[in-house]
Amino acid sequence: MKKSDPPEQPVQRADSMGLNVVEIDSNGVSPEVLEDLAQASRLLEGREPSEIIAWAVERYGRRLTMATAFGPEGCLIIHWLAAVAPDTFVFNLDTGYQFSETLELRDRLARRYGIEVSLERPETTVEEYEHLHGGPLHQTDPSRCCADRKIAVIRRVLTRFDAWMSGIRRDQSPDRAAAPIVGWDHKFNVVKISPLANWTKARVWDTIVREDVPYNPLHDQGYISIGCWPCTRAISFGEDERAGRWSGTAKTECGLHSRDHALPTGLPVR
């Protein structure tokens, strides 16, 4: 797969609902575009994820991308995406701390669907990064580690695109509870599409089993939400599904989907 070339500045983006091309500059996106995205989100609220993905592909074409951490939701989106647009650029934020099972899943998905997920990496290796900070920064400042090895990387990647898809669900965490199907991502200055926003964990797994979609074997060992291995543990019965992330701290998000940075449109904050 080929990567899209970075757009010239200011970025000109064709609105997904057939509006005139709008310029995205340092002042952000216009209220009119926000309202049109909100309208699209409301219209797509009752659609199946496969239909939402097809809509996104039709509207944004090669300016659409997808980010995945190879969670069950991401694997499902790849399953559907392979049927309508297998050439879509799909990427993973490879921090250098991923489980070997996660990277092996990438290879299994490539064999099954023909989609080779690009591993997008920070400028420094883990060894260089830890040497720079006098040891593993995830132990003392996990938010800074996420910012350096995830947020900075996705920001770099998304400059080449107009819209990105994520696998978040509203029932995963308070930060995700107000996620629209389609909205403006104020953090990254692109459209954000979440085809599974209104699905439940049970519905995701029912579909994975029914469609025989590959998934991470760590899920069978109690790892419900899987990120970097130093900051992920298996959870016990009755714990919140994200309790195994940054366990023992107040941190629950890496920052990609934090509500205070990626403001939703078309859905009230609960």
DSSP string covering 76-118, please?
HHHHHHHHH-TTSEEEEE--S-B-HHHHHHHHHHHHHHS---E
Give the per-residue pLDDT at 164.
96
Q: Over 70: is that where the pLDDT of 6 sits?
A: no
| Model confidence, pTM | 0.81
* pLDDT classification of 22: cutoffs 50, 70, 90: very low
Give the per-residue pLDDT at 3.
38
CA dist., res. 199 & res. 16, Å (int): 23
CA dist., res. 67 & res. 158, Å (int): 10
* pLDDT classification of 14: cutoffs 50, 70, 90: very low
Give the per-residue pLDDT at 231.
82
Told to judge if 231 belongs to the known catalytic residues of this protein, a careful annotator would answer no
CA dist., res. 171 & res. 188, Å (int): 23
* pLDDT classification of 17: cutoffs 50, 70, 90: very low
Lowest mean pLDDT among 46-60, 141-155, 175-189, 243-257: 243-257
Give the per-residue pLDDT at 241.
65
What is the identity of the amino acid at 122?
P
Render pLDDT for 69-88 as a digit per residue (tens, 0 to 9). Answer: 999 999 999 999 999 999 99
Phi, psi for 202 (deg, rounded to 5): -60, -40
Q: Tell me which CATH homologous superfamily contains domain 11-231.
A: HUPs (3.40.50.620)
CA dist., res. 121 & res. 60, Å (int): 25
Give the per-residue pLDDT at 242.
55
Beta carbons within 8 Å of 159's beta carbon, 6+ residues apart: 6, 7
Q: Over 90: is that where the pLDDT of 54 sits?
A: yes
Render pLDDT for 121-174 as a digit per residue (tens, 0 to 9). Answer: 999 999 999 899 888 888 888 888 888 999 999 999 999 999 999 999 998 777
Q: What is the mean pLDDT of the chain?
A: 82
Q: Indicate which residue of 75, 145, 231, 254 is catalytic.
A: 254
